[in-house]
C-alpha cells in the first residue's frame, strides 16, 4: 500500500455530539482546521446521519463511518457493501476472522479498519471479558489476521503501534484514537499525545473531546495540526 497522506488530513475529529445540528455547528466552527471527520454511533441514532455525510462531502471533507460492525459475517459484508459509492473513506468492523474476511471482500472504494482493542479498555477490563493474554500480544494477533484477510488497516492505541509496525511493517494503516494533550480523567485509559502517536507509527489520529469541549475548538485543532506536521517532518 502506497501511502500519500496530506498532513492536514491526518487529524480526524470525532463528531461525538447528540444531533446533526450540533455536528454541523462544530464543523463550521472548525473551518479549514480539520478536513476529516468521524461519525459514530451517537449520531447514527439520530435523524439525518447520511444527510450529514452528504453535507460534509459537499464541503470537501473526508468521512470515517465508525459503526464497528459486529454481526454474522454475511450481514457485516452486506453492511459494508452499502457504504460503497457514497464517498466514505473509512469504516470499522469488530469481530473474528469470518467478519474480517466478509468485510474485506465486500469493500470497493471504502477502506475497512479492524478494531483491535478499544482504548477505553485496560488489563482489568480484559480480565473481566475473559482475555488472559497480554494486551500487546492480542492487538498484534488481531492486526495480523486483519491484514491477512484483506482489511486496509486497524484501529489501535498508541501504546501498541510501535509493536504493530515492528511485527507487520508499514503496508497497512494505523488509526489511533485516545489522543489526549495532557493527563485525563475520562473513560479513555490507554492514551498518548499526538506526537507520541506518530512517533510510534500511527498514520492518523482521532481526537474528540479535547477539540469538542475546548473554549476555542479551532485553536486546539490548529495546535494539533502543527504538532502533526512537526512529528511527520522529524520522522
Which cell numbers hold the place of 86? 457514497
38 is catalytic: no
Write the DSSP symbol of residue 59: T
Helices marked H in the chain: 20-30, 41-44, 49-58, 73-83, 97-106, 123-129, 135-148, 158-168, 194-199, 209-212, 217-233
Nearest residue to 117 (alpha-carbon basis) of 146, 88, 83, 75: 146
CA–CA dist 183, 217 (Å, integer): 19
Report CA-CA distances (Å) from 79 to 14, 103, 186, 197.
21, 8, 31, 30
Residue-wise over 153-182: b if at least 16 C-beta within 10 A, else e? bbbbbbbbbebbeeebeeebbbbbbbbbbe
Catalytic residue among 68, 107, 189, 235, which?
68
31 C-beta neighbours (distance < 10 Å), count: 12
Which sequence positions are flagged as catalytic? 68
Amino acid at each position: 500500500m502506497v501511502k500519500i497522506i496530506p498532513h492536514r488530513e491526518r487529524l480526524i475529529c470525532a463528531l461525538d455530539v447528540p444531533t446533526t445540528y450540533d455536528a454541523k455547528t462544530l464543523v463550521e466552527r472548525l473551518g479549514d482546521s480539520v478536513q476529516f471527520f468521524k461519525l459514530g454511533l451517537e449520531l447514527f441514532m439520530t435523524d439525518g446521519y447520511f444527510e450529514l455525510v452528504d453535507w460534509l462531502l459537499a464541503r470537501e471533507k473526508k468521512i470515517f463511518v465508525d459503526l464497528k460492525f459486529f454481526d454474522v459475517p454475511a450481514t457485516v459484508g452486506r453492511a459494508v457493501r452499502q457504504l460503497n459509492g457514497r464517498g466514505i473513506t473509512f469504516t470499522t468492523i469488530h469481530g473474528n476472522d469470518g467478519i474480517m474476511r466478509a468485510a474485506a471482500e465486500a469493500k470497493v472504494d471504502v477502506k475497512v479498519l479492524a478494531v483491535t482493542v478499544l482504548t477505553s479498555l485496560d488489563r482489568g477490563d480484559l480480565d473481566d471479558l475473559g482475555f488472559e493474554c497480554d494486551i500487546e500480544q492480542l492487538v498484534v494477533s488481531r492486526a495480523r489476521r486483519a491484514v491477512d484477510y484483506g482489511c486496509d488497516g486497524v484501529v489501535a492505541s498508541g501504546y501498541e503501534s510501535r509493536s504493530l509496525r515492528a511485527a507487520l511493517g508499514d503496508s497497512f494503516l494505523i488509526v489511533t484514537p485516545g489522543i489526549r494533550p495532557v493527563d485525563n480523567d475520562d473513560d479513555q485509559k490507554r492514551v498518548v499525545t499526538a506526537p507520541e502517536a506518530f512517533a510510534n507509527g500511527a498514520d492518523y489520529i482521532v481526537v474528540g473531546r479535547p477539540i469538542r469541549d475546548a473554549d476555542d475548538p479551532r485553536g486546539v485543532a490548529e495546535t494539533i495540526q502543527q504538532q502533526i506536521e512537526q512529528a511527520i517532518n522529524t520522522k
